[in-house]
Amino acid sequence: SFTDVPRMRKPRDNCYIEVSRAGRTRSIVSNWEGRDQSPSHEEPTTSNSALGAPRGRMYSSRGSSQAAETNIVTSEEDVLSVLIEEHDLFLSSTRSRLTKLQILHQMWQRNDIRGVFSALEKMSDHAVCADMASVLMEKSEAITLDLCTSILPVLADLLESKTDRHVAVSLELVVKLVRTFGPVIHSTVSVGPSSVGVDLEAEQRRERCNLCFIELEKVKNKLPSLMRRKGAASNTAQELSLVFQEIMS
């Protein structure tokens, strides 16, 4: 009869250890090792059979407890899978960033700063742009009005970043550029072209100032939304707004 059937004992699997939370961690490691030895790595270990548990009914409350434990282990494995996947993406992104910085460094070594920012525009990588902006903060003496025409478009685009550090670095460099070149830009744009003769140098300066003024206007229009943000970016945006009022009004 049914009562004569001996109670089935659930075999222990090397992937399952019924202990505390630390024990569940060990079971996960064992299961990963087992998965590496398996002929197929695509099968999810979400069922009792995948963890070595027998199929069929559970004849005791202990069986139900082990089933619940299996779900916990599976959930922790899913978390580990996501973390490993994100780690791989991070490594790929970091390698790409390093490659771009190496290319820019070679151009910088050739003193081709205009080429550096021309390449940055094509790369469209906010992290790399922020890195270069940080370098220029320490090398601001190398910036000329001519270079501002190449630097400001990159800085204006960097303000679209969702990362607070990127925005803050961009704003800090814009503050320094406005303090240095703002008076020249403002006075040149405010005064009309000379009607006496042709001054090529003055015309070139006017063209550069006009280009810089256009980019600075783009930055100025973004300040209200940036000032509503929290953190360093908001504080620097407020500082830049005051600098604009002081120098270019």
pLDDT for 30 = 41
pLDDT for 113 = 85
Residue 56: pLDDT over 60: no
pLDDT for 36 = 43
Report the number of secondary-structure helices (H) and strands (E) in the chain: 8, 0
Residue 228: pLDDT over 70: yes
The residue among 183 and 111 whose pLDDT is bigger is 183
Residue 29: pLDDT over 70: no
Angle at 220 between CA 219 and CA 225, to 5 degrees: 90
pLDDT for 221 = 95
- What are the C-alpha distances in Å from 111 to residues 32, 107, 200? 52, 7, 26
Residue 60: pLDDT over 50: no
pLDDT for 153 = 94
- Distance (Å, rounded) from C-alpha 239 to C-alpha 89? 36
pLDDT for 238 = 95
- Distance (Å, rounded) from C-alpha 232 to C-alpha 169? 9
Query: How much is the mean pLDDT over the chain?
Result: 75
Answer whether 155's CB lies under 8 Å from 170's CB.
Answer: yes
